[in-house]
């Protein structure tokens, strides 16, 4: 057995696989589905949507909270799994993902504030209240692109570790490493307000690659986490 396989915890690998899939489901719901029904083109519309869909909003907050807790766990597990492959790169992956989690926590506050303003705050002018609600939602949307920068850096490190490992199929590492640039390019483009068709198409293609690779990696960990494989 090599150094990688000697320290490979099959049970932890399956736990990480389950967490990957749970994050995909909860994150898809809270980031993709819920905002479509809450956030409108102006503060008045967003406020009305939120008050009309309070149950959905709370479910989204619950899903976001679950994602943060799952991310904390999976970050520790991945570091433990890959630290023997490359200690410095494993630490880089851990720090980058921890940075992402920190931004996600701050972003959750921006998402919750409109509900607080609409249900708890008193004495606000209606126009000012709606403007503040929309500001929080737009700040939350921009915050997603901030944590994507950290996540892209994490995936670069994780992809490198997989390619150096003798346990995980290397095709997954290539997909994560290449696809990571989708998060990085989209994050930089959105935060600098660059809207170029070629750039948009590029990060869309890369995001498809990395999404397929992430889900495949999660499934591999869950199903084959205890079976060692040769390089592919």
Kindly report, residue by residue over 46-100, the tens digit of the pLDDT.
999 999 999 999 999 999 999 999 999 999 999 999 999 999 999 999 999 999 9
What are the Cα distances from residue 73, in Å, to 76, 104, 119, 121, 176? 5, 15, 33, 35, 20
Cα 71-73-75 angle, rounded to 5 deg = 65
Q: Is 195 exposed, middle or buried (0-12, 13-18, 19+ CB in 10 A)?
A: exposed
Global pTM?
0.90
Distance CA 75, CA 154 (A): 10
């Amino acid at each position: 057995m090599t150094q990688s396989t000697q320290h490979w915890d099959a049970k932890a690998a399956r736990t990480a696989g389950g967490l990957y899939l749970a994050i995909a489901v909860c994150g898809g719901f809270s980031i993709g589905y819920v905002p479509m029904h809450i956030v409108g083109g102006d503060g008045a519309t967003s406020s009305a949507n939120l008050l009309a869909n309070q149950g959905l909003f709370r479910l989204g907050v619950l899903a976001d909270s679950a994602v943060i807790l799952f991310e904390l766990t999976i970050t520790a597990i991945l570091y433990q799994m890959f630290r023997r492959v490359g200690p410095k790169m494993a630490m880089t992956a851990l720090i980058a993902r921890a940075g992402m989690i920190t931004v996600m926590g701050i972003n959750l506050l921006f998402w919750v504030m409109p509900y607080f303003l609409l249900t708890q705050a008193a004495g606000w002018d209606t126009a000012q209240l709606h403007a503040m609600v929309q500001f929080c939602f737009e700040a939350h949307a921009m915050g997603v692109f901030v944590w994507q920068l950290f996540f892209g850096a994490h995936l670069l490190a994780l992809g490198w570790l997989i390619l150096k490992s003798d346990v995980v199929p290397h095709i997954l590492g290539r997909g994560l490493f290449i696809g990571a640039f989708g998060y990085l390019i989209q994050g930089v483009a959105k935060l600098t307000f660059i809207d170029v068709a070629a750039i948009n198409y590029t990060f869309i293609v890369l995001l498809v690659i990395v999404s397929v690779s992430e889900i495949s990696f999660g499934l591999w960990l869950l199903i084959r986490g205890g079976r060692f494989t040769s390089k592919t």
